[in-house]
Structure 1
């Protein structure tokens, strides 16, 4: 291994996980976190895509109950999906290490919101670490493992788009720990969270957090850089690098652990400078906590809560400049690929004047020109529930125009329960669910999912059939159709289903144009592997 490597933050986390002997990495692809598990797999780590983030966290939690080290990755909105097990996992704790990466997206480069997931650590009662660059992402991962194993808690590892994707030199440790063998020890009182067990578990959690806060007072990951006492900056994550360039003479307290906070260390630092400003990206999480503790600090003006920080914006914060910021240059709007198989579907939706409850994926671009054929887009899987709600609420002549549009990966992620709702509580006018199946998780870079029949490394596995699942759930009308090959036929089919007072699912299936060649290659390799396995089995008989 070379002394230094040029790595992104995502790649640095993957290298750290590999070197730390993580036995299992699992997650759901979502920018800016996707490359972590892909890089971990390429290094030789055991990595797998889960159907959604909740399942990924539960799998990682089970592995950590089994005394091994586990990594779970997702983008920030994915933690919303995984929040249910996350909060209770703080009570149960873990036996091995469990590191949960939340990759936030300030500025919404590829997201529907810019929530600040440091708040999840506070709400759930979990330690939160935040690296500033790739080297620190590598180093702090080992700290996360240490904290998790020492206090038997999951650790939230918060990254942001800039840290995930920016590359810098990383000096790895140069040695790898072998993944530990798993073992299970029964602990019913500690892991079965019925109320009689959960009440004392909550008290144990708060005691652990108090211990971590005391440890954080002297921990080297929270460090003071004493310079000019006229100005002190308290900062975390990538904002530290911006602050260091924007105000090079200022004293700085750089936080690596952002929850629980080392309040006494912060109090002493604030008292040591004439003016103390908190420079943080996203919500004023640290500033609010310090002011609630009676520590005199300035928070950034509200206008800097939105989008990413950079050196120029930090200079404005320090200068208390609240004048209007220059408008960013206009970029080229995104659009569907010219040969995208979704074009025919959106042309028909637009022509038939459908009310489209949409979802998250490449097909979200159908909301833009030239189609403008998507009316709602809320969250993964919401197309079905929102579409059903519209069907229930609207007068019949409008209700019959409502279509739920969802992609194949998103359907597996969180659309199945929506389809169960459609079967269980069908609207009087029926409903049409259009699954745009391009054979991949296209938006995040052509990753696999249970409906592709291939694992994270593209090896063949069991394949979930969307149409057979719909039939098994009791959908009376299920059709698979290639809209790209027969646009006119698809339009007729869609019009027919809209007029029918029953629930119907249309699977518009054609491979993503960007992934089609690779899909053919992987399918051929899979067929050859299965043939070889069959020959070997026959020879053994």
Structure 2
């Protein structure tokens, strides 16, 4: 039967059909719904990992043990996973390993607009890029096949528009039993132990594999030629649909594999048309290679290098008129800035920090909205975990300038609970170890809220709202070497308690941690539907009560 699926849902379907054994990742828009859809399929394991690096390492381990693995992350998450990513290309795989990078042209929910096709080139691994949900399902299956046939991890690149748009996916049969890869740890130290002597040998294998892949992509069915008129377009991904709408009579080379590129196929296509365009969002990755082969084309001299495309963008770039059915786009709509949800506990912390005139080093999450009215209480935001480490750097320079502990106390950091687990704990350890000073506030609402209320190591649950362990702030800080009096855990909805804790901690030297524990109001609505709200509220209240009495909640 046919099904109407989003790109993310289609990837999950394709992975299940391919016999995936393990799905793991870190939630990040626009990739989050892949694993949320995958968890609904039988015969496999899914998890939210602490961060993307951990997720990729879990996936690689599963692959070596004979389980096909799907690892998902947004584009900036690949930065976190880059260390194992590059070396996994050297080790290769046992069972198939597919890594989804969900790019975000126009930065709908991201801090930058990086084009992760560059990672495929730099790491020397193949990359598929589907243009529709139907292709997303099919290309996921092909990616697993290619991974095992050529002993390599494989990238699957999506963008926000594909991830969240829906399309018809044919021949969906959820009653099948997908074939799995034989299980068994591949014990092969020369292949998997990357000491320099082994890595040098594997480095040669990487180049040999890439040469073979260059041959394979010339005839791979993911790359499709549609011959029509004398104007030719090379494109990939979602822009293919825009090209077909704007230039219905053009010949098109749709590249479903964007690395390595099929040189001869592109040369033959270029020779068959009078004018050649390369239509690609963001960076001129394809265009640069086409020009390097000595082929003339129009690319970023015609189309923008910033933001996602649309039919209107293509028409404007080509000097074509907009159809009469398209609205002029000059409708005036009152501006409405995003803001924290009504009842969100984070607002109480922001009010306290603002009233004290503190400089706030911020982080990634819902609380990044603290930079906007009515709070206006965030001064930096760069990447996951940077709140603590950037505040650390500021403290060093202020101390060098002769400022006392009291003078430096105006610098603080705020970080969410999921982000703290992702990459904040290492920064906290670094600050304690290096004898720095600073107030670090964890805004703990018991979930990864901005991406849709996913579980994290501070929430007491794992994927699927299954009860699990949680990190105890007091025990953690003590283990890292922080004096217990420098740790406070307060009710995130109690402004008086937050104020008192901030004032008390400000008088203490060294690194201080304040955890403001509350409950995400959006998650509460969902928990009420599943009957778990009372249980989670009771658990959060127990955490607060135990913290105030100095009682361990893991006993």
The question of a shared fold, defined as TM-score above 0.5 by the shorter chain, is answered with yes
Q: What's 1:278 paired with?
A: 278
> 1:426: how far off?
2.3
Q: What's 2:358 paired with?
A: 354
What is the aligned counterpart of 1:472 among 469, 479, 493? 479
> 1:199: how far off?
1.1
Q: What's 2:207 paired with?
A: 206
Residue pair 2:302, 2:318 contacting (<8 A) in 1 also = no
- Per-residue CA deviation, residues 161-216 of structure 1 (Å, 9 max, x unaligned), is 00000001101453441433420121111111111111121111111111111111
Is 1:34 aligned with 2:43? no
Q: Distance in 2 between matches of 1:437 and 1:193?
A: 39
> 1:274: how far off?
1.0
Q: What's 2:425 paired with?
A: 416
Is 1:499 aligned with 2:497? no
> 1:346: how far off?
0.2
Q: What's 1:112 paired with?
A: 111
Q: What's 1:339 paired with?
A: 343
SS of corresponding position for 1:304: coil
What is the aligned counterpart of 2:14 among 16, 23, 30? 16
Q: What's 2:370 paired with?
A: 366
Is 1:382 aligned with 2:413? no
Residue pair 1:138, 1:172 contacting (<8 A) in 2 also = no
Is 1:482 aligned with 2:499? no
SS of corresponding position for 1:349: helix
Q: What is the number of equivalent residue pairs in this alignment? A: 519
Q: What's 2:297 paired with?
A: 297
SS of corresponding position for 1:434: strand
What does residue range 115-194 of structure 1 map to in structure 2 within 5 Å? 115-172=114-171, 174=173, 175-194=176-195
Q: Distance in 2 between matches of 1:352 and 1:290?
A: 57
Q: Distance in 2 between matches of 1:454 and 1:522?
A: 11
Residue pair 1:26, 1:59 contacting (<8 A) in 2 also = yes
Cα distance, 1:327–1:237 mapped onto 2, change above 3 Å:
farther
Q: What's 1:399 paired with?
A: 408
Q: Distance in 2 between matches of 1:193 and 1:527?
A: 47
Q: What's 2:439 paired with?
A: 432
Cα distance, 1:326–1:517 mapped onto 2, change above 3 Å:
closer
SS of corresponding position for 1:96: coil
> 1:501: how far off?
2.0
Residue pair 1:277, 1:318 contacting (<8 A) in 2 also = no
Q: Distance in 1 between matches of 2:477 and 2:114?
A: 34
Question: TM-score normalised to the size of structure 1?
Answer: 0.92
Is 1:458 aligned with 2:465? yes
Q: Distance in 2 between matches of 1:59 and 1:335?
A: 36
Q: Mean Cα displacement is larger for which, 326-335 or 95-104?
A: 326-335
> 1:46: how far off?
1.8
> 1:507: how far off?
0.4
Q: Mean Cα displacement is larger for which, 208-217 or 122-131?
A: 208-217
Q: Distance in 2 between matches of 1:28 and 1:414?
A: 12
Is 1:96 aligned with 2:99? no
Residue pair 1:232, 1:273 contacting (<8 A) in 2 also = yes
> 1:140: how far off?
0.6
> 1:68: how far off?
1.7
- Per-residue CA deviation, residues 365-414 of structure 1 (Å, 9 max, x unaligned), is 00111111000000001111001111111252652201111000000000
Cα distance, 1:483–1:141 mapped onto 2, change above 3 Å:
closer
Q: Mean Cα displacement is larger for which, 237-246 or 211-220?
A: 211-220
Q: Distance in 2 between matches of 1:329 and 1:93?
A: 54
- Per-residue CA deviation, residues 131-181 of structure 1 (Å, 9 max, x unaligned), is 001000001111101100100100000000000000011014534414334
What does residue range 16-95 of structure 1 map to in structure 2 within 5 Å? 16-44=14-42, 45-95=44-94
Residue pair 2:55, 2:71 contacting (<8 A) in 1 also = yes
Residue pair 2:524, 2:533 contacting (<8 A) in 1 also = no
Q: Distance in 1 between matches of 2:265 and 2:177?
A: 34
> 1:303: how far off?
6.7
Residue pair 1:258, 1:286 contacting (<8 A) in 2 also = yes
SS of corresponding position for 1:515: helix
Unaligned runs of 5+ in 2: 322-327, 539-555
Residue pair 2:17, 2:141 contacting (<8 A) in 1 also = no
Residue pair 2:225, 2:254 contacting (<8 A) in 1 also = yes
CA RMSD across the alignment: 2.0
> 1:316: how far off?
2.6
Q: Distance in 1 between matches of 2:439 and 2:456?
A: 24
Q: Distance in 1 between matches of 2:315 and 2:91?
A: 44
> 1:450: how far off?
1.4
Question: TM-score normalised to the size of structure 2?
Answer: 0.90
SS of corresponding position for 1:403: strand
> 1:223: how far off?
1.1
Residue pair 2:105, 2:160 contacting (<8 A) in 1 also = yes
SS of corresponding position for 2:522: coil
SS of corresponding position for 1:290: helix
Residue pair 1:87, 1:124 contacting (<8 A) in 2 also = yes
Q: Distance in 2 between matches of 1:334 and 1:517?
A: 20
Residue pair 2:454, 2:463 contacting (<8 A) in 1 also = yes
Residue pair 1:392, 1:399 contacting (<8 A) in 2 also = no
> 1:418: how far off?
0.2
Unaligned runs of 5+ in 1: 529-541
Is 1:224 aligned with 2:232? no
Cα distance, 1:467–1:246 mapped onto 2, change above 3 Å:
farther
- Per-residue CA deviation, residues 448-501 of structure 1 (Å, 9 max, x unaligned), is 01111211111112222233212221112111011412x133123212322322
Residue pair 1:277, 1:300 contacting (<8 A) in 2 also = no
